[in-house]
Chains A and B, each alone.
Chain A
Amino acid sequence: MVVRTEDDQALDRIFHALADGTRRDIVTRVVRQEQSVSELAHRYAMSFAAVQKHVAVLERAALVTKERRGKQQIVHGQLRTVRRAAQLLDQYEELWRQRADRIGNILAEDT
């Protein structure tokens, strides 16, 4: 059996977090440059609380970190986590490339 790990759960959180358009947008912004939660809240047609909730989901998935600076909450992007998700898709892609090669071989043998 392939053992389920903590890692799987972490990845689940990453993909869940990235499944939402606003959250993807937030990640893209804060990876480029840190932003405060109130700065982010200005950019979206939703309440401060709603934006804060999105940030909390991203924080649990380790896609962003939050730091208190005076009255401001500053959000930083965690590029490493984004890369981890991309890496997993890369590996799956490689798996299918190998499958296609094997299909090619079968077809070449049979004709």
Chain B
Amino acid sequence: MTVISTEKDLDALTLTLVAEFEADVEAVWQVWEDPRKLERWWGPPTWPATFERHEFVARGQTRYYMTGPDGDKAHGWWAIVAIDAPRRLELDDGFADENGEPDQSPAMRMVVTLDRTAPGTRMTVVTTFVSVQQLEKNVEMGMEEGMRLALGQIDALLTDA
């Protein structure tokens, strides 16, 4: 089971997420390094992500897009700031225009650290926001999934009744 704690700092505009996985550090590192694995978790099921470019090295560039329920595409990019495999990853994540190139909106910074623990690996992700559009846009895409889940629950209630 994934044990999670999260901490929000409204003043500093950061979110810290801690998750524990019963897998070794190398395996958890792979879900970040391998674009085919990354695609399976980065976007919500209703906004799956496709990684077209993924240079997993310092100063490397990543280009991806997420495809919405109506076929709309939202493009994004990463710039790897620092990387220390398989322990630490620091990157900027931003939105891109329809050609996949970074737009003018500021990026958010993510710092991922992996620590070996008794059951496996602890993953800590600290996200720092500089732009609210970015936060809002991410949330909007994630919300679709939240809505779907909520509607699914209502369906289940109706079926039970």
Contacts and interface: CB of A to CB of B under 8 A. Distances in A.
A19 to B, nearest CB: 8
A98 interface: yes
B15 interface: yes
Contact of A90 (B8, B11, B19, B125): B8
Contact of A2 (B41, B74, B127, B145): B74
B143 interface: yes
A99 B14 CA distance: 17
Query: Secondary structure at chain B's binding surface: helix, strand, loop or mixed?
Result: mixed
> Interface size class for chain B?
35 or more
> Interface size class for chain A?
35 or more
A12 interface: yes
Contacts of B1: 104
Interface in B101-120: none
Interface stretch (A36-44, A48-56, A62-70, A81-89): A81-89
Contacts of B37: 106
Contacts of A26: none
A85 B129 CA distance: 12
Given A106-B37, A107-B27, A88 B125 contact: no
Nearest to B37: A106
Contacts of A96: 6, 15, 17, 125, 127
Given A88-B139, A103-B123, 4 more contacts: A2-B74, A15-B13, A91-B139, A102-B41
